[in-house]
Structures are given as structure tokens and as C-alpha cells.
């Protein structure tokens, strides 16, 4: 993988192992805000923990309430370390902005057109400064 560059949607730095979700996920009703576990039994990654992972997904689906679930996950320490998407998702960005405003917690979000460059389980560092995002393998 080496170094991958994308567009920053939310600034920050994070380190974590990549979790690739092949399908969109609704955090509202699809993930437990107290544990960070995917609870949607129809989702292919049902039972996976989002906490501390660099979550790569095609987007969120469903309610704008996903923003509040993401903010709550971050508040209790079970949210993703970072989120990588092929296109901007304003609901997820709002969730991180709310978490930062209310709790002083936020995570980087990256728009990366070629998300297939990120491999499941690889430890990466995500750095977003302004609109510049860099994802690189951790050694």
C-alpha cells in the first residue's frame, strides 16, 4: 500500500487496523452506541467491533440520527479511530463535529476514491490537515 492520499473531510490523526465494510452501515439501529459493535444482523460484518479501527465503508445509510450514535460512540470510547469513504458523507462528518464540540473528541474522516487500496487488518496511520489526507502503513 505505501502511502495513499485523499481529501480530508475532518481533521485529525489516528492509528488503527483497517476494517473494510463492503456495505453501507446505518449507525442508528445498526450499531450499539455503548459497545461499538455492529448489531444489524443483515450486515455482512455483524458482530464486528468498530472501536479503534480505521473503518472503510461505502457510506452510511438511513437516518441522520447516525450522527448522534457516532458522537455517543466517541464519547464512551468505542468509536472508530477514523473513517474512510469513497465520497463525502455529511452525516458522519456532523457526528464527529458534534463529538468535538460537546466532548472534545473527534476523529479524522477521509474521502478516498479508491478505497480498495486499503487492505483489511493492516495497521495504518491517518493524518488529515485541512483538505490534505494521508494514509500510510504503520511499521
Looking at the annotation, which residues are catalytic?
A: 63
Dig out the grid coordinates for 104 from the structure: 472534545
Q: At what angle do helices 90-103 and 66-76 cross, to 10 degrees?
A: 40
Q: Is 102 helix (H, G, I), strand (E, B) or coil?
A: helix
Amino acid at each position: 500500500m505505501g502511502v495513499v492520499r485523499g481529501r480530508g473531510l475532518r481533521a485529525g490523526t489516528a492509528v488503527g487496523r483497517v476494517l473494510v465494510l463492503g456495505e453501507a452501515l446505518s449507525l442508528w439501529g445498526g450499531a450499539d452506541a455503548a459497545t461499538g459493535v455492529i448489531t444489524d444482523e443483515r450486515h455482512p460484518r455483524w458482530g464486528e467491533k468498530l472501536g479503534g479501527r480505521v473503518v472503510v465503508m461505502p457510506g452510511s445509510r438511513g437516518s441522520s440520527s447516525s450522527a448522534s450514535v457516532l458522537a455517543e460512540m466517541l464519547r464512551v470510547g468505542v468509536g472508530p479511530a477514523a473513517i474512510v469513504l469513497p465520497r463525502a458523507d455529511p452525516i458522519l462528518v456532523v457526528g464527529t463535529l458534534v463529538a468535538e464540540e460537546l466532548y472534545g473528541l473527534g476523529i479524522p474522516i477521509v474521502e478516498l476514491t479508491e478505497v480498495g487500496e486499503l487492505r483489511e487488518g493492516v495497521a495504518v496511520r491517518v493524518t488529515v490537515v485541512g483538505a490534505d489526507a494521508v494514509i500510510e502503513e504503520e511499521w
